[in-house]
Amino acid sequence: MKAIERLVVVGGVAGGASAAARARRLSEACAITVFDKGPYVSFANCGLPYFVGDVIREEKSLIVASPELFRDRFNIEVRTRHEVMSIDRAAREIVVRDLESEREFRVPYDALVLSPGARAIRPPLPGIDLPGVFVLRTIPDSRRIREWLQEKDAKRAVVVGGGFIGLEMAENLAHRGLEVTVVELADQVMPPLDPEVAKPVADHLRENGIKLRTGHGVESFAESATGGLEVRTADGDTLETDIVILAIGVQPESGLAREAGLALGERGGIQVDRSMKTDDPNIWAVGDAVEVIDSVSGARLQVPLAGPANRQGRIAADNIFGRDSSFRGVQGTAVCGLFGLTVAATGVGEKALRRDGNENYEVAYLHPGHHVGYYPGAKPIHMKLLFDRRDGRVLGAQATGEEGVARRIDVIAMAIQMNATVFDLEEAELCYAPQFGAAKDPVNIAGMIAANHVRGDHPLARWEWIEDGVLVDVRSQAEYECESIPGALNIPLEELRERADELPRDQTLHIYCKVGQRGYYATRLLAQRGFDVRNLSGGIQTWEMFR
């Protein structure tokens, strides 16, 4: 293989900066140049909402590494405000424009890494280009938003899009004292999550003063008579506001690759193999611009996350310098903090499984404390685990809660990456001291519930799927009288052995309690007496999530 003497990287943030820095660690001999059309490289896009919200006070805190640091520490030449205009694949050269002087010049490469990221979607709606309608991708974007908020003394904001970035922006604008309305086309916030998991998120946002308008998109923007903006929604409403933030998703920035004739996927992402190489043997591509494979479902999709972009940059550099490393695919592990609530997910959700026609999955719900109940301050984690009912392979998990959520989802993320099963979750040895967890960690409990189902010891039932049979509430009479499901019989667990004969043997018994634990004991008790019995997963607390 010819020695790589000149490596050129397009885009110097998550994927590009990782590729360049890794390349230097593998080759001291190679000349490495990074071009970025923006004024900064290696900045913290993920921190931008918090800079808008004044949680991060100093703009300079967002700069992770400067061009000078790249030069002095890594001997990497970084040229900001330089846009790569085209790729001459035959000559192995790129055409670069210096955005200050407008001068264009050609730069040769032996290996080229494309990490141009994604751009915010701006649909061609009337008024979308009005002053006061913003997207957030870059430090200058965040600066402009801050300046607008100050200049207009903004009191109201409309955020279009209720996904991770939209909701982070909603929280941060509320943190600055604005009255915030989120408009979301889907009929739930956080559209990648399953609706019942997203419901407590919506409740929590409302409790914190965010107005939610789900189920209707935005149709147009206009200037209002009072000098603000009007946002018209598809249901015919008009919202008055001082600022609009558009956060309705991103599109891969793959124009450069397309014009160079590189293969693109159906959704416009650059196609790469597991070494992150494109269909040109001298060009690699990483980050938001590439199409990736979902490691659980095998689907080809676009997943704009910083972790995969960083890993892909490293893998591209490895392969350029002859190391055999490969990208394992994505599983969409993501987390978001909103007014003290954590929402996290990994792997596939039920919506995606149903969309793919998968009929072999099962679901377990649980609501354990983030640490043992006897130590003060335990907070519930509401978790949904998805697994293959045939072999127990873990497919995905979603959870919300105030404490300890990300840690559990991270453990399950690793389990998914290792192709683990619910039997592995049962056996996982995890940290425990009273203030951190429990001897049976929520991850173990999730594994036990699911594994007992796969073994046939503890058949689970789903609240939304009960059609016939008998509902049996095994909580205390006091709990039953406080709140119960219409039509349910009440036989407290403690009386069940004596009163089991009151239950019919020719119908399915659907058992429930508060969170599923007493329901599990009751299910075992009744199953051993020959009843056809199922435990309603997660008990009445799960039922609440569906209401």
- Residue ranges in contact with ligand FAD by CB under 6 A: 10-11, 13-16, 35-38, 45-46, 48-49, 83-84, 115-117, 136-137, 165, 253, 256, 287-289, 304-307, 309
Spatial contact of 347 and 394, defined as CB atoms under 8 Å apart: yes
The answer to whether 513 is a known catalytic residue is no
| Measured distance CA(270)–CA(293) in Å, rounded | 12
Taking the complex as a whole, the smallest distance from the CB of residue 82 to ligand FAD amounts, in Å, to 6
205/474 with CB nearer ligand FAD: 205
Taking the complex as a whole, the smallest distance from the CB of residue 193 to ligand FAD amounts, in Å, to 15
Amino acid code (one letter) for 43: F
| Measured distance CA(66)–CA(42) in Å, rounded | 7
Taking the complex as a whole, the smallest distance from the CB of residue 151 to ligand FAD amounts, in Å, to 22
Taking the complex as a whole, the smallest distance from the CB of residue 122 to ligand FAD amounts, in Å, to 14
| Size (the chain), residues | 547
CA distances, 171 to each of 158, 175, 178 (Å): 12, 6, 10
283/460 with CB nearer ligand FAD: 283
Spatial contact of 135 and 144, defined as CB atoms under 8 Å apart: no
| Measured distance CA(294)–CA(303) in Å, rounded | 9
* Kind of pairing between the strands at 381-388 and 334-338: unpaired
406/540 with CB nearer ligand FAD: 406
CA distances, 6 to each of 9, 30, 97 (Å): 10, 6, 19
228/249 with CB nearer ligand FAD: 249
- Write the CB contacts of 234 (distance below 8 Å, at least 6 apart in sequence): 216, 217, 218, 219
Taking the complex as a whole, the smallest distance from the CB of residue 97 to ligand FAD amounts, in Å, to 9
* Kind of pairing between the strands at 283-285 and 111-114: parallel
290/385 with CB nearer ligand FAD: 290
38/519 with CB nearer ligand FAD: 38
Taking the complex as a whole, the smallest distance from the CB of residue 396 to ligand FAD amounts, in Å, to 17
Q: CA angle, corner 542, sides to 536 and 547, nearest 5?
A: 115
Among the options 30, 46, 431, 513, which is catalytic? 46
Residue nearest to ligand FAD (CB): 287
The catalytic residue positions are: 46
